[in-house]
Amino acid sequence: MNSALLFDLAAKLSPRFVHERSFAVRSGELLTNRFVLSVNVAEILGGVRKKILSACGQMEMPSMQIELVERHLSATRVLHLGFEEGFKERLYKLYLEQDTPTVPVLGKPVLQHLAFKWDALNPSRHMLTRYIWYPALSATAIRERISEICAGEARAIATELTDFVVGPIAKWDLRYLEAAEIGNPRRSFDLNLYDGGMPLADIKPFLVRMWEHYCVEPAKWQPVFEADCNETFGHLSGGIHRNGEEFFNVYYGKTTVASGSNKLFNRSP
């Protein structure tokens, strides 16, 4: 099973889907073969539950996870199919984005995503990640929460990058989430900065600091940056990985794809 399957499944589920790329930075590593495909459940034509569960089966999701997916489908608004290839793992991911309150309470935690993740190279290895949304936090409050998760240079990069994109007062509704998993030290944040409208080129100094901090050689990051520098910067995610190491994930370049288009299917994602 490979990443192309996810594009095929997304195209079969809905007339259109959103493709978002990302890279992960860890100690000495830059992981670039990773992406998320997003489908609005309301746009899935006929037999929604059956189609989603069939997709889970085709992705070889562990049976105990499929049972949990079925239990939470009724509250799901958006389905996200994810893929990440690492040095010793090939992770497949299914995020159930849940319905949230129309008028949330300031700072009151709300479950936003249930994310099911499993390793195709080691099916016994699977995780459930809960992403909690903290509504309507100010930029100052977000920086404070990030500072509780990240330390040292990682904290400086995250908070200074947030300041650079957002400014002293946010001009849009910042969406700040935190993620955790049972049974491992995973704790991280995710901040949606798409509304800042900045290309990756504008945040290059912060990206270079990130790569240098994690000892990623220029020969690894320069081709990636040069290829995608004009894409819009989206999410910044970071904190402590489930293996106990620090990490950053950078998401960017959201593109809506019409099912049947060969725009993305003729290239390796």
Q: In the chain, what are the domain boundaries?
A: 4-258
User: Using one digit for the tens of pLDDT, what is the confidence trace for 128-137?
Assistant: 999 999 998 9
CA distance 25 to 29: 6
Best CA proximity match to 250, nearest among 205, 209, 191:
191
DSSP 99: P
Rounded mean pLDDT of the chain? 92
Exposure string for 107-127, b = 16+ CB within 10 A, e = fewer: eeebbbbbbbbbbbeeeeebb
| 228-248 per-position pLDDT tens digit | 999 999 999 999 999 999 999
What's the predicted TM-score (pTM) here?
0.93
- Among 71, 128, 129, 78, which residue's Cα sits nearest to residue 99? 78
- Report whether pLDDT(260) > 80: no
Q: For residue 245, what are its two tokens?
A: 């190491």
Specify whether the CB–CB gap between 153 and 121 falls below 8 A. no
